[in-house]
Amino acid sequence: MTLQPVARCVAVSRVFEVPQHRGAAATVLALDAVNIDIAPGGLLALSGASGSGKSTLLSLLAALDRPTSGSVHVAGRDIGSLGRAARRRLRRSTAVLVLPQPADNLLLALSGRGNLLSVARVRGIGDRAEAVIESLVEQMELAAFVDQPCAVMSGGEQQRLAVACALVGAPPLLLADEPTGALDQASAATLITSLRAAVQGGATIIAATHDPNVIAAADSVVRLDHGRRVS
């Protein structure tokens, strides 16, 4: 039996208009007819040089942007045709994005547990929240710092917590943009371990990265170059 892809990009292009002097605008082709099928489970590494379109693709998959042409399907739904509310629901519980800067993924005024509870509330987990969080704390090895305010955590701790937040409620698709980009080697290694643990738990993760360690840990790799898929 063939598994339905959790996400699919069909001839996806994205063109940005960049305002220039005297009211003129230049166009930048960020993605050029990209086709990708992402099977459920596993860690997919999106690699490529800066400006190759990795983050744009993640934004499209995370329903933060719309393609100029082509279609992006997540969990069987064409993101481009969805309304604002439906796209919001998709972001809430289906395609969750982790940003490169650890601090950008957390409400710094709250503790780690506060952030996890906040996400659990948004995703409507309700009574099971405590159990789900405890399970994630154990799985991601957060116990040592989860009750501390996020502002005092290290970058590595913050990013692991961010991944944990993203995994609350087991969304079908986790999108991570340069997850190790702002971390030292040790922290990056711990995070990769965490990502692998999440995959073992059934998550599907797409990580846009330059980090060879992440690429090495990935189950599959997609390379982009100037907006085109090259492998």
Partner 1 sequence: MLPFALTVMLAVFCAAGAALYVSSAGSASIGEQLAESCRSTTGLTLPVLRDSSDAEAIVAGLGASLPFVDVPRSGATASTELIDEQGTPRRLRLMQLDGLGEHVTAPFAALALGEVALSATNAELLHLAVGDEITLAAGGALVVGRVYDDIALAPIPDAWCGLEYLIAPNPAGDPPPPSALASRETVRLVAGDDPNLYEFVEYRLTTDSVTLTDVAATHAAFERAVAGWNTAFADAPYRMTLETELDTVLSRGTAVRDTVARSLAPVRVASLLSIACVLIAATVLLGRERRRELRLLAMRGEHPARIALAFTPSLLAAALPAGVLGFASAWLTVTHFGPSALLETHAIRSAVLAATACVLAGVMLAATTIGVLADRSVDHPTRHVHARFLLPLGCLTLCALTLWSFRRLDTVGGIRTYGVQARGGDMLALGFPLSLLLAMTAATALVLRAAITHARLSGGRLPRALRLGWRRVVLEAGPTVATVAAVALAAGSMITATALADGARDQLHDKAAVYVGSDLAVTLFDEPVLSPSLASRATLAWTTTADWADGRVELWGVDRATFAAATALRDDGSELPLADLIALLEPTVGTPAPAIVVGGDLAVGEEANIQVAGTDQPLRIAVVATARFFPGKTSGSAQVVVDRSVVIAGAPYATRKLLVREPPTGLVDSLRASGVRTGVVLSSATTFDASNFSGLRWAYRPLATLGLLFASMAMAVQLLVIAARRETRRASHLVMRRTGFTRRALWRAALVETLLPPLLGVAVGIGAAVGAAALAVVRLDPMPLLAPPAQFSMPWPTVVAIIVAVPVWAVVVAGLIVRTTLHSDPMRTMRGEQ
Positions that interact with partner 1 (CB under 8 A) = 21-23, 62-66, 84, 87-93, 96-97, 99, 103-107, 118-119, 122-123
Q: Give the position of tokens 């009750």.
A: 147
Q: 192 with 111: CB under 8 angstroms?
A: no
Q: CB of residue 108 vs partner 1: minimum separation in angstroms? A: 8
Q: CB of residue 73 vs partner 1: minimum separation in angstroms? A: 17
Round to whole Å and give the CA distance between 58 and 207.
9
Of the pair 2, 84, the CB lying nearest partner 1 is at 84
Q: CB of residue 70 vs partner 1: minimum separation in angstroms? A: 13
Round to whole Å and give the CA distance between 215 and 192.
10
Torsion (CA) 49, 231, 3, 9 in degrees, nearest 10: 60
Of the pair 123, 226, the CB lying nearest partner 1 is at 123
Of the pair 3, 85, the CB lying nearest partner 1 is at 85
Q: CB of residue 212 vs partner 1: minimum separation in angstroms? A: 28
Of the pair 16, 42, the CB lying nearest partner 1 is at 16
Of the pair 29, 189, the CB lying nearest partner 1 is at 29
Q: Quick one: which of 165, 209, 203, 164 has its CA closest to 183?
A: 209
Those residues with Cβ within 8 angstroms of residue 1's Cβ, 6 or more apart along the chain or in another chain: none
* Upper half-sphere CA count for residue 220 (Cβ side, 13 Å): 13
Of the pair 1, 24, the CB lying nearest partner 1 is at 24
Q: In what order do the strands lie in the sheet with 228-229?
A: 95-98, 173-177, 204-208, 42-48, 220-225, 228-229
Q: CB of residue 13 vs partner 1: minimum separation in angstroms? A: 13
Q: CB of residue 104 vs partner 1: minimum separation in angstroms? A: 6
